[in-house]
Structure 1
Amino acid sequence: MIPAPPVPRALAPYVVARVAYDVDFGAPGVHRGLPGTSLTFVLPLDDPLRVSWGGRSDTLHSAWTSLAGLHAAPAAVHHDGLQRGIQLALTVAGARAVLGVPAAALAGSLTDVDEAVVPRPLRELSGRLHDAVTWEQRIAVVDRTLATLVASADGPGPRAEVGRALARLTRGARVGDVAEEVGYSRRRLSTLVRDECGVTPKEFQRVARFQMARGLLGRRPLAEVAARCGYSDQAHLSREWAALAGCSPTTWLREEFPFVQDRDPAAEAPSEHD
């Protein structure tokens, strides 16, 4: 990970993480993009980013920008051995403020700024990033563009009740309890969350628990990770990891952990749901 200043305070409600990366994998291959509670926006520097849903070559998407909505399946990021660029993790509120659309519009999709209906400054960002010479300049370009988009956003944000519900779901609260806290029936809450995020409260909670486990994996014993994250036992954690990551926790630790442990603050950071 390239050393970088923290996300500016004005952007914090919309951007969980802004990671500048320069990674040498040693050889061409594929690494996993795992589900989380934020949308992923990647700006590669050297080559177009090639991404597909894990195990599905028919979904391969190649572009100079990459947008992935909330999803409950692993993505496969294809590389030639080296990768450089900037990756953003956007909150549900950030989808509206930065992309100009609710997160639900991108749920389960792999797309880019040329295909999606997004503000013009976002379409121009990749070119401006390539014109920058240093990492400091690149990060500044990204931050200025995001600040401009946030300041000029004129549409409504997510309902406050939805934001509170997502925050509670991220922390493991039961869906029924969350509905009662925000003053809605469980069915009404499910409709509002699905309309905003593209996933149900239960699906969002599942991914949030997985994200929490991901942040602890490799730093705590598996049994402890399972207990701290609300899984019934280690076997339950392993089953969920296989379903959401496409591999076992031990396989991910062996193949991926050395490359992501220092460049993935979003893995254990809450977002606004944070």
Structure 2
Amino acid sequence: MCADTGGYRERAARLSGAVVWEKRAPCGVPAVPLRVLPDGCTDLLWMDGRLMVAGPDTTAHLPATRPGELVVGLRFAPGQGPAVVGVPAHVLRDQRVPLDALWPRGEVERLAGTVAGNGSPGRVLEEIALRRFREAADPPDPARGVIAAALGRGRSVAEVARTVGVGERQLHRRCLEAFGYGPKTLARVLRLVRALELARGGLPYADVAARAGYADQAHLAREVKALAGAPLGVILAPG
């Protein structure tokens, strides 16, 4: 009998900047979708007995789960995922793709068997990612951290391009490959991430808007609704 009440937890991964997380849907009640918000990240997933890749989202994703179902993921730092999964981030934007569509089927079947037979699937996902990261033919863009930090602070595209030492068109291309979005969309997503961090810390919405770089609280509300698909109060509600 399933008696699990469900829940979410995460921890830092051994791959720098990445996070291992798991979500179990509660038993005995209809599963409520976990709202997955845009964050500029790519995830390696173990769900429904399969290895999957979740690309960077441009809007909220509400995956369907069964009561009691466990989903385990490794969320890469922004710009880190392509070096592991082997394709540019924009190829996976707004998609959930079976890993065997990207890697040789036999290799994925072997890895899936290893995950299924291990009591700590998150640790196996880490090992898979660490090995692929070390052997990556195309390592992550070395400027990805600078780009994300500058855009997250509200710097203009032109300013960020000058900081990195490239033209705006090349910056756009590099952002698509690393993050899945152009720099303007990436800036919106990172600003949303920052706003939610501040709001979860108990800051009043007007102060959240000012500190995260929105014009005003109404601007914050519009952007949250556009990117997260629900008002800020709904996003922050426990559950």
| TM-score normalized by the length of structure 2 | 0.83
8 Å contact kept, 2:209–2:215? yes
Matched, 1:65 2:51: yes
2:113 is aligned, of 124, 127, 135, to 127
Alignment-mate amino acid for residue 235 of structure 1 = A
Residue 20 (structure 2) pairs with residue 33 (structure 1): no
* Larger RCO (CA within 8 A; separation ≥ 6): 1
Shift of 1:162: 4.5
Candidates 206, 216, 227, aligned match of 2:198: 216
Q: 1:213: Cα distance to partner?
A: 1.6
Amino acid across the alignment from 1:164:
V
Q: Is the 8 A contact 2:18 2:76 kept in 1?
A: yes
Shift of 1:2: 7.3
Q: Give the counterpart letter for 2:153 in structure 1.
A: R
Q: Which moved more, 1:115-124 or 1:85-94?
A: 115-124
| Alignment RMSD | 2.7
Shift, 1:78, TM fit: 1.1
* 1:16 aligned partner: 18
Instruction: Percent identity, please.
Output: 27
Aligned to 1:88: 74
**What pairs with 1:41-52 in structure 2 (closer than 5 Å)?**
41-44=44-47, 47=48
Relative to structure 1, the CA distance from residue 217 to residue 97 in structure 2 (aligned partners, 3 Å threshold; closer, same or farther) is same
Specify every segment of 5 or more residues in structure 1 that has no aligned partner in the other structure, as ranges: 49-63, 260-274
- Letter of the aligned partner of 2:30 in structure 1? A
Amino acid at match of 2:134: A
- Give, in whole Å, the separation in 2 of the partners of 1:196 and 1:144: 22
In the other structure, the counterpart of 2:161 is 179
* Worse-matched range after superposition: 220-229 or 139-148: 139-148
Which residues of structure 2 form unaligned runs of 5+? 1-6
Which of 4, 13, 37 is the equivalent residue of 1:7? 13
TM-score normalised by the chain length of structure 1: 0.73
- Give distance in 2, aligned partners of 1:6 and 1:159: 22
Name 2:96's counterpart in structure 1. 110
CA distance in structure 2 between the aligned counterparts of 1:147 and 1:7, rounded to whole angstroms: 10
Look up the equivalent residue of 2:186 and give its one-letter code.
Answer: F
| 1:112-149 Cα shifts (integer Å, max 9, x gaps) | 2122346965554333222123xxx3333222222222
Q: Which residue of 1 aligns with 2:4?
A: none
